Amino acid sequence: MAPAHCSALYQQMDIKGNSRFEGNLFLWPVTRTARTFRVFVVEPKEYCPRAHGKIFNAAITALVTSEAIPVDPYVKDSPVSGAEPFDLITFPEAFLPQNELVGALQHIVSTLDSIGCVHVGLRPTDNRDQHLFGVHEIKALIQSLSSIPQIDKSDLGAFLGWINKQSDSQKFNIGCLFAIDADHKLRICLHPKIVRSKFEVNPLHEKYMAEADLLTLVTLLPTNKALKSVTLQPLICSDALHLDTDRPQSWPLEGVNTDARCFESFPPDHVDIVSLVTCTPQQVQVAKSGIRYRTWHQEFLNSFLRAASELPRHHYSAFVLSNFQTLPANALGGLSGGFIPVSLLHDTFPPFVTVSSWGKLQNSANRWSTPDDNCKREDGWSSLGYVASLEPAALNDEAPAYMLGFTVYRFPRDITRWKPAEGFVDFQLREAIDEADRMIFRKWKSNV
């Protein structure tokens, strides 16, 4: 009979060996000055890969550079507004061609000392019919990224080790989260899609996605010790859903809770932000008043509720989602924005924002509100959380993209239960203007 300590060791090895996932945990030092968390989501008008690089560069440029404010056309020098700080900007799934990413990063490290987190879905080229990467293409991307000055190459180690174990014939969907940290180092997190969507099941080999098994978390560690750490979980679209998976019940949200043993060091106790790059059709509903409106697909709404009620590390997680306004084959998408599991405190939002809350009137069951509902607290509506998204009806059909900004006033786990939670505040909208020689994002002007 084996000694007791040996039996325990074999047990631990078996537990780790049976994990559904490998783990990749990043710890990045960052310069943060406040408890607020500023977020932007970019919603392109249409899925058009040849234009995505232009939109990406314009969005980043709008946030990191100052702009002249026209006051008087006869005054030579106009006052200049400062660049707008941000903590996270999220783009859609399968968005940025890899060569555009490498070029953008080379420019960013040569011109900026710091930048907040940028989360973007990647694609091998601007070929609109192929968004999946071959293993050799991923290795070539890692090699290109490794040659960028100021990069912390250790960030790529776990991902490279994982991809080296994959079959050369497999095709993967990948995303990228990057930042410049407090030490002026370029930090890069590559992460693969884990849950295959129905659009990635195909008779053609090059369009059939292999499901990955690498769980990813990024913890931001403020240099100001008075501020708490912030943990992000970057995911790709259907990663958030309860879909059928090749390896039974291999869902990333659940995995962070039930398979946390896959991380070599202790994982964070809580995920503050789930950032979702998406390319997904939305549902169209008809209100009792006859108004047609879009709503987030029920599978996503279910995931928000599941995280808040069933997954301990996600009980207080906010979700940030970016989507294309119109998808291939003219399917309706849009509704880029966020979900937060706190009560809907305010009744008035900007005209470019649509809100649906998970709540109820007295003596009724919880449900998602519709345009028919009066969701005012004084009229008896109580809620547990809400989704705030771009309102499609308010947008200009001519703009090639929109950028919605909002602030997480306090992360839910950072709020005392003795006071009401503010949730999302300070909404702002910018629309892209495609000029002859460049694209810019300017403050939104309503056509109404």
Q: Is the per-residue pLDDT at 1 higher than 90?
A: no
Q: Is the per-residue pLDDT at 395 higher than 90?
A: no
CB–CB of 163/135 below 8 Å?
yes
**What is the rounded average pLDDT of the residues 291-316?**
94
Give per-residue pLDDT as tens, 115-135: 999 999 999 999 999 999 999
**What is the rounded average pLDDT of the residues 195-223?**
96
**What is the rounded average pLDDT of the residues 276-298?**
90
Q: Is the per-residue pLDDT at 36 higher than 80?
A: yes
Paired tokens of 113? 């000392």
Among the listed residues 256, 263, 250, the one whose alpha carbon sits nearest the alpha carbon of residue 232:
256
**248 burial class (0-12, 13-18, 19+ CB within 10 angstroms)?**
exposed
Who's near 217: CB < 8 A, 6+ residues apart? 23, 24, 25, 26, 231, 232, 233, 256, 263, 267, 268, 271
Confidence band of 380 (pLDDT split at 50, 70, 90): confident
pTM: 0.91
**What does residue 332 show for φ and ψ, rounded to 5 degrees?**
-80, 130
CB–CB of 160/87 below 8 Å?
no
Among the listed residues 390, 386, 373, the one whose alpha carbon sits nearest the alpha carbon of residue 431:
390
Confidence band of 51 (pLDDT split at 50, 70, 90): very high
Q: Is the per-residue pLDDT at 9 higher than 70?
A: no
CA 151 to chain centre: 22
Q: Is the per-residue pLDDT at 71 higher than 50?
A: no
Among the listed residues 128, 115, 239, 108, the one whose alpha carbon sits nearest the alpha carbon of residue 174:
239
Confidence band of 374 (pLDDT split at 50, 70, 90): confident
Alpha-carbon span 113 to 185, nearest angstrom: 9
Alpha-carbon span 217 to 92, nearest angstrom: 19
Which pLDDT score is estimated for 444? Answer: 84
Confidence band of 372 (pLDDT split at 50, 70, 90): confident
Which pLDDT score is estimated for 448? Answer: 46
Which pLDDT score is estimated for 68? Answer: 41
Q: Is the per-residue pLDDT at 408 higher than 90?
A: yes
Which pLDDT score is estimated for 137? Answer: 97
Alpha-carbon span 186 to 192, nearest angstrom: 20
> Concatenated DSSP letters for 54-117?
HHHHHHHHHHHS-EE----TT-SS--EEPP---SEEE--TT-EEHHHHHHHHHHHHHH-S-EEE
Among the listed residues 218, 230, 387, the one whose alpha carbon sits nearest the alpha carbon of residue 296:
387
Give per-residue pLDDT as tens, 235-248: 999 999 999 999 99
Q: Is the per-residue pLDDT at 273 higher than 60?
A: yes
Confidence band of 447 (pLDDT split at 50, 70, 90): low
Confidence band of 21 (pLDDT split at 50, 70, 90): very high
Paired tokens of 227? 């501020």
Who's near 444: CB < 8 A, 6+ residues apart? 352, 402, 428, 429, 430, 431
Q: Per DSSP, what are the bridge partners of residue 134?
A: 171
Classify 324 in phi/psi space as left (phi over 0), alpha (psi -120 to 50) or beta: beta
**What is the rounded average pLDDT of the residues 32-42?**
96
* Residue percentage of the chain with pLDDT more than 70: 91
200, amino acid identity: E
Torsion 271-275-281-287 (CA) sign: positive
Q: Is the per-residue pLDDT at 94 higher than 50?
A: yes
* Residue percentage of the chain with pLDDT more than 90: 75
Alpha-carbon span 113 to 341, nearest angstrom: 34
Alpha-carbon span 198 to 344, nearest angstrom: 33
Confidence band of 292 (pLDDT split at 50, 70, 90): confident
**What is the rounded average pLDDT of the residues 389-406?**
91
Paired tokens of 365? 């069951």
CB–CB of 114/66 below 8 Å?
no
Give per-residue pLDDT as tens, 330-340: 889 999 999 99
**What is the rounded average pLDDT of the residues 23-41?**
96
**At what angle are helices 98-111 and 135-146 packed, to 10 degrees?**
10
Rg (CA), the chain: 22
